[in-house]
Amino acid sequence: MNSTDAIIARPVTSENFARFGTVYDLTDDADPKAIWTAGDGWRDGFTRTPLIEGSGHLGITRGGGAPWSCTAMERHLGTEEALFCAALPIVLAVAPASDGEAPHREGIEAFVIAPGHAVVMHRGVWHDACRGVSGPTSYYWMAICGLGESPWVPVAGGPRMVEAEAPEGPGA
């Protein structure tokens, strides 16, 4: 595999992630999908609706860093899955939900999720474990667990290299 075969992760936005799920931006008090409050010395925001459908479990994954070779993915047909940073930006590689038995390498896209953002993947969206933009990092996820096996399957057509550029600005 050569570097021209790599995909470069781009910052996640509501628009570029729409076919895979929903993006919440809790960094600037402006996302209309959130309710904003403030008090003496603090401001906060929370999602207008529950983050995922159903009573989800909270988990944490400790992942390596980008770049990496995306060789296998999983999907959850019985639950949405939310992902959000613990402290540092992460890279999420996804492929469209399908009736197929495996995601295809040509359908893989990658997104950088910065601190203060959360994404909620639609049911059935293929995804790899996230990696840190600039090295190993941890991230949180929320999904309904115990819905049966969620097998990792090889990417059809072979692996795809995923690369990321360090974001600039606050939260980077």
Query: Which residue in 130, 90, 126 sits closest to 106, CA to CA?
Result: 126
Residue extents of the structural domains in the chain:
3-163
Provide the pairing of β-strand 7-8 with 160-163: parallel
Q: List 34's β-bridge partners, or say none.
A: 47
User: If you average pLDDT over residues 158-166, what whole number do you get?
Assistant: 91
Q: What is the pTM (predicted TM-score) of this model?
A: 0.91
7 within 8 A of 108, measured Cβ to Cβ = yes
127 within 8 A of 162, measured Cβ to Cβ = no
Determine the pLDDT at residue 2.
Answer: 42
87 within 8 A of 137, measured Cβ to Cβ = yes
pLDDT in tens, 26-65: 998 999 999 999 999 999 999 999 999 999 999 999 999 9
CB atoms within 10 A of CB 95: 25
As a whole number, the mean pLDDT across the chain is: 92
CATH number assigned to the domain covering 3-163:
2.60.120.480
Is a pLDDT exceeding 50 seen at residue 1?
no
List, in order, residues 6 or more apart from 88 with CB less than 8 Å away. 115, 132, 133, 134, 135, 137
Altogether, the residues listed in the chain come to a count of: 172
pLDDT band at 73 (very low <50, low <70, confident <90, very high): very high
Is a pLDDT exceeding 60 seen at residue 169?
no
